[in-house]
Structure 1
Amino acid sequence: MKKILILFISLIQIAFAQKSSLTFETKFYDAEDRWVIFDKKENQNTYALGFVYLDSEAGYTFSYQGELEYKNSEFHKVPRLDTSSNIIMRLDRNSFNVKVLTDEQVSKLGLANPPEWLQNYKQNADFIETRVHRASMMNGAGASIKALPILQKAYQEDPHYPGLEFELGYAYNATGSFYKAVIVLNKAIENDPSNFWYYRELGFSLKHLNNLPEAEKVYRKGIELASDKNQVAEMAINMAQSYFHAKDKAKFDEWKSIVVQNAEPESQYRQYINYFEENWHKSN
């Protein structure tokens, strides 16, 4: 049995690329179940070859299968020195775009399309649990537009399935459908009024609908329920930002104090506060 090496990197370093005639314009989540290459590093002549798939538990993954050279408008395999290990790399929002190989290119390279092992990740695909997990991984990767139809279908089947309402509300927020998020999240709160995550997402929806009084009420309830200071700081910075833009200094200072009480000095939330204060007079 081959060893499996899991590299928890974003492939951000695979790509610092030289200019080439090849284009890399496909988001990795749009290349699911496809053979792809990542752009070469500077001073490198080969491209990383692999297969992109979605592990419903671990997220989008790149199964590294070796290196390719590009000569005379064709790809050629480079002999792989170590074939004893399977190398897989987790993909995230920072991962570079890929180039999807055509079926013809895949065939010429002698690659199984799809690989036999892919079936292991398609088991129980129709289970609502599997679908919600998949959609959650899509949300986390920035592919909420792909997660939406999966979540909407599951919501019609079982609206209160654990985790579903949060993921659907998150996907609606991420795609700018704030009114739809409000409807889903209000129903979720009616069913489970002690779930912090619903208030976090609902406050975000209301903030972006410019309903600051209601957003403030919802976020305060979320703060009551939150056990994580980072989550409190995130909600508070959202309100501080809104009142910064609304030019309401008293309210800004009120939410700023909550940020300061809960965020680490070097955190991004404190950096945002510093930015708002430095630019208060410029924008107001």
Structure 2
Amino acid sequence: MKRLILSLMLTCFVITASAQTANVDTALKFDNSIMAYEKHWVVLKKPVAYSCYTFGYVYIDKYKGFMFKEAGQFEIGKKNRYVLRYGKKDIYTFSPGNNDQDSVTRVIRFMDTLGGQNVRIMPPPHAAILPPKHFKELKIEAEPIWVKPYYVYTDTLDHNYRWGCFHVEETDRDTGIGYLEKVYRVSPHYKGVKIPMDHAYWISRQGIELKLAPAYVVKGQYDRAITILNKAIQNDPKNLAFYYELGMAYRDKSDWLNAIEVYQQAIAQISADKSSFKSLMAGSISYSFAQLNRDQESKYWHEKSLEYSPCPSCIP
């Protein structure tokens, strides 16, 4: 029921026989996720049976991530005229990790605010740029006055880090990398600030190296990621997250021997006999040896993974 109610808030719930032959504006191209349109008026893609489109403005709240402020609904009338329909207006956040108790803010990405806040159950909706020629019909300005306070900033580490994280975690990875590279050039070991999606990870992902390097890996730029993470380890050899990400970079590159070496270095940093991370590293070594068809060594490290684990029965 909640899923239905929340879905209805996104679109104008008007299902009529005429909706099947409603006017269509071919200028509306729903090719991208809503997060591709920061600082733009957009129209959300609607189900075929609905006669109304929802429109609003996309922006970034530095503490919450990508936001969509609904401005209303409209129908497409004769001569391609946009006919404004007034209805309930709301604000939605699309970035993972948010658990906002404000009744106005809905975490619609998950469709169920009582469910796992860190699990992306469904992708964000697709949207199209709202053509400027229809602004007057919808009684909006090119840039709404209310958004200006969200963009009062200078070219700071804090701003570039946040904006880079929000873009990288969503759909505009190239833009995000651009922001993060600015930070890295100025402060290659910048500790960063906590952002909502940091709650979604079981291991720390805060800090410029832990944002930029994984972004490079996703782009297939493994050597750039490896260079950053090796320098990160030289600077802070106790940070286990660096070893984890470096091992993953080698693993994605299918460089199994270097991955094994990194995992062994990580284990050497852990003095505890029982450790979930230590067990994970041993399991990763086992997997890497298996990829090299070195079965005896793979079996040995699988047994070590069980030995290190606080919960051996949890490991298959």
Query: Does the pair score TM above 0.5?
Result: yes
Following superposition, the deviation at residue 14 of structure 1 comes to 5.2
1:89 aligned partner: 93
Q: Could you give the per-residue CA deviations for residues 84-129 of structure 1, whole angstroms, max 9, x where no partner exists?
A: xx42232567112211112212343221221112122112242211
Please tell me the residue identity of whatever aligns with 2:155. D
Within the candidate set 114, 122, 142, 1:113 is matched to 142
Match of 2:64 in 1: 58
* Identity score, percent: 23
- In 1, the alpha carbon distance for the partners of 2:312 and 2:35 equals 33
Contact 1:230 1:262 in 2 (8 A): no
Aligned partner letter, 2:181: Q
CA 1:229–1:39: 2 relative to 1, 3 Å? farther
Measured at CA, do residues 42 and 213 of structure 1 come closer, stay the same or move farther in structure 2, by a change above 3 Å? same
Residue pair 1:207, 1:239 contacting (<8 A) in 2 also? no
Mapped partners of 2:176, 2:32: distance in 1: 17
The equivalent residue for 1:166 is 210
How far residue 264 of structure 1 moved from its aligned partner, in angstroms, is 11
Aligned ranges 1:172-183 → 2 under 5 Å: 172-183=216-227
Match of 1:196 among 240, 243, 246: 240
Aligned equivalents of 2:168, 2:67: Cα separation in 1: 15
CA gap of 1:193–1:62, structure 2 versus 1, over 3 A, is same
Query: 1:119-134, aligned counterparts within 5 Å?
Result: 119-134=148-163
Which range moved further: 236-245 or 66-75?
Answer: 236-245
CA distance in 2, matches of 1:164, 1:65: 36
Contact 2:250–2:256 (CA under 8 A) maintained in structure 1: yes
CA distance in 2, matches of 1:111, 1:37: 13
C-alpha displacement of 1:177: 0.8
Letter in structure 1 aligned against 2:164: A
Superposition deviation, residue 213 in structure 1:
1.6
Looking at structure 2, the residues matched to 61 and 134 of structure 1 have their Cα atoms a distance apart, in angstroms, of: 13
Structure ranking higher in helix proportion: 1
Structure 2 CA distance for aligned equivalents of residues 51 and 57 of structure 1? 18
Going from structure 1 to structure 2, the CA distance change for 1:58 and 1:89 (only over 3 Å counts) comes to closer
1:129 alignment partner AA: D
Answer whether contact 1:178 1:206 (CA < 8 A) is retained: yes
Please list the CA deviations of residues 165-208 of structure 1 after superposition, one character each: whole Å capped at 9, or x if unmatched: 22111221121111011111111111111122222221121112
| Equivalent residues of 1:204, 1:238 under 8 A apart | no
Residues 70-96 of structure 1: per-residue CA shift (max 9 Å, x gap): 23333221112x46xx42232567112
Q: What is the aligned partner in structure 1 of residue 176 from structure 2?
A: 147
Q: For 1:150 and 1:193, how far apart are their aligned partners in 2?
A: 26
User: 1:241–1:42: structure 2 CA closer, same or farther, 3 Å change rule?
Assistant: farther
5+ residue gaps in structure 1?
A: 1-9, 274-284
Matched, 1:79 2:83: no
- 8 Å contact 1:35–1:106 — kept in the other structure? no
The one-letter code matched in structure 1 to 2:35 is Y
- Paired residue type of 1:89: T
Cα gap change, 1:49 to 1:221, in 2 (>3 Å): farther
Does the C-alpha gap of structure 1 residues 176 and 109 become closer, same or farther in structure 2, counting only changes over 3 Å?
same
Question: How far apart, in 1, do the equivalents of 2:234 and 2:42 lie?
Answer: 45
How far 1:27 moved relative to its partner? 2.6
Structure 2 residue 131 is the aligned partner of structure 1 residue 99:
no
Query: Cα 1:236–1:35, aligned 2, differ >3 Å: closer, same or farther?
Result: farther
- Tell me, what secondary structure is at the counterpart of 1:50? strand
Q: What per-residue deviation string (whole Å, max 9, x for no partner) do you get for residues 123-171 of structure 1?
A: 2242211211111122221432111111112222121211112211122
Superposed CA RMSD in Å reads 3.9
